[in-house]
Amino acid sequence: MQYRTTSGHHVKKVGFATLHIDGGCRPTNPGPAGMAAVVNFPAYGLHYELARPLGIKTNNQAEYIALIVGVKYAHTLGANGLDIFTDSKLVLNQMKDLWYIRERRLYDLRHEARGWLDAMFEKNWELTWIPREQNTEADALCTEAILCNNPWIPNFKDPFRPPHKRWFPHNRSVMIEVCLPHAR
């Protein structure tokens, strides 16, 4: 059986999947944020990872964005049922209508996430809380995405990073030397 996605592509439904999500920001909240989604199809032994920097967001916004992107990603890969695992009690309890949502942006993200889940998986999904120690793969991918997004931490995976070692100012004298090489 095939379904048409929102982009118009046909997707062959593969089966039931598990989705581990994580979102966060460091070193401040709000601050440079990232998200990660890990999709597994246990019946087929398939494993997919997705991690993206998000710009400046709060940690709760990043968690919701990870949920939304992860749900869309799992559907695109062909999942027809989804077990979602998160280490965010806030997302879990707000999605299950157990906690009140005070912030309008979180309300909108929750509404969007619920809409995508209901549209793509109808009632064939379950959201479960797990401790951070059991969400290590998504957590590591999220941390990597955050580090790629943070302007204060050097991104050594950036292919456009300057080749010299002193591009990251550790103290004022180095900053002056890097910014003004003829200032001596």
pLDDT digits (tens, 9 = 90+) for 1-40: 444 444 455 556 778 999 999 999 988 899 999 999 999 9
Phi-psi domain of 126 (left: phi exceeds 0; alpha: psi -120 through 50; beta: other) = beta
Fold held by 2-152: Nucleotidyltransferase; domain 5 (3.30.420)
Helices (H), the chain: 59-77, 89-95, 104-121, 136-149, 172-179
pLDDT at 172 over 50: no
Confidence at 163, pLDDT banded by 50, 70, 90: low
Q: Tokens representing 18? A: 């598990």
Give the torsion sign (CA, 141, 38, 61, 91): negative
Q: What is the pairing mode between strands 2-4 and 10-12?
A: antiparallel
Average pLDDT, the chain: 82
Please report, for the chain, the start and end positions of each structural domain, with discontinuous segments joined by +: 2-152, 154-184
Average pLDDT over residues 160-172: 50
Among 37-46, 132-141, 148-157, the range scoring the smallest mean pLDDT is 148-157
How wide is the angle at C-alpha 141 spanned by C-alphas 119 and 65, nearest 5°? 30
Would the pLDDT of 142 be above 90? yes
* 36 and 51 Cβ atoms separated by less than 8 Å: yes
Which own/partner contact pairs does 156-159 have at CB distance under 8 Å and 24+ positions apart? none
User: pLDDT by residue (tens digit) across 93-136?
Assistant: 999 999 999 999 999 999 999 999 999 998 899 999 999 999 99
